[in-house]
Amino acid sequence: MMDVVEMNGISYNLNYIEKDCWVRLLNGSLKGKDPMHNAAVASIGKFGVHQRTVVLRRVNTQQKQVAFHTDIRSGKWGELNNGDTISWLFYDAPARIQIRLSGTITKHYNDDVANQAWNKSTVNSKKVYLGLQGPSTISAIPTSGLSETLETNTITEEEAQKGKPNFGLVITNIQWMEWLWLNSKGHRRAAFHYNNDFTFNAHWLIP
């Protein structure tokens, strides 16, 4: 157990902070209005570092994994290869807490892992995979890529299944996490480095 540090009437413990970070991430994956539900993801692409906002879809607190869904016709799917490293950035404004993550990815398409993720998705979430052309395709007009009928009408689960061939899941196996708390009496910052057995080494950082 790591030592508890008392400062300005507040107790700090690295074990507790690490656990709290993963609880916050898990809540972000389960609650659409949670501050951690959306994150910025950065990867290396054709024109350097590319950042995108993604929805946090899945969190495994035991195996230290986070994941997002994507269209396999998208640029980010094509840029990423299994084993590539990507980074995540989360910020909870009310709590003034920032969490940064980095790790290696595995891509899942038309396998048991991807199928399970697809089956858990709502019909509305599946709808975005029904576009005839993939993301980043040049268009003469502003468009979602969906037909007018799909944009304005509710679809059935059977209709949504037509988008499944375009669905992919990207899992990040977290190797490093950083926590930052912005506090008027003094910011606090800590880093966590994960081992292969999911244990971690941690230390405080100057903000």
Q: pLDDT by residue for the chain (207 residues), tens digit each?
A: 567 766 555 677 999 999 999 999 999 999 999 999 999 999 988 788 999 999 999 999 999 999 999 999 998 898 899 999 999 999 999 999 999 999 999 999 999 999 999 999 999 999 999 988 888 888 888 878 777 777 777 888 999 999 999 999 999 999 999 999 999 888 999 999 999 999 999 999 999
Q: Are 133 and 145 in contact (CB under 8 A)?
A: yes
Give the model's pLDDT for residue 153. Answer: 75
Residue 172: inside a domain: yes
Residue 187: inside a domain: yes
Look up the CATH number of the domain holding residue 91. Answer: 2.30.110.10
Dihedral sign, Cα of residue 58, residue 78, residue 39, residue 126? negative
Give the model's pLDDT for residue 129. Answer: 95
Q: Are 88 and 39 in contact (CB under 8 A)?
A: yes
Residue 165: inside a domain: yes
Residue that has been written with the tokens 């940064």 in this structure: 100
Q: Tokens representing 54?
A: 């993604």
170 forms bridges with which residues in the sheet? 68, 107
Residue 141: inside a domain: no
Give the model's pLDDT for residue 146. Answer: 79
Residue 140: inside a domain: no
Residue 150: inside a domain: no
Give the model's pLDDT for residue 6. Answer: 67
Reading phi first (left if > 0) and then psi (alpha if -120 to 50, else beta), residue 65 is in beta
Give the model's pLDDT for residue 152. Answer: 75
The total number of structural domains in the chain stands at 1
CA angle 157/160/161 to nearest 5° reads 90
The domain of 175 spans 4-134+155-205
CA angle 164/109/173 to nearest 5° reads 130
Residue 12: inside a domain: yes
Distance between CA 181 and CA 178 in Å, rounded? 10
65 forms bridges with which residues in the sheet? 60, 173
Residue 13: inside a domain: yes
Distance between CA 21 and CA 27 in Å, rounded? 10
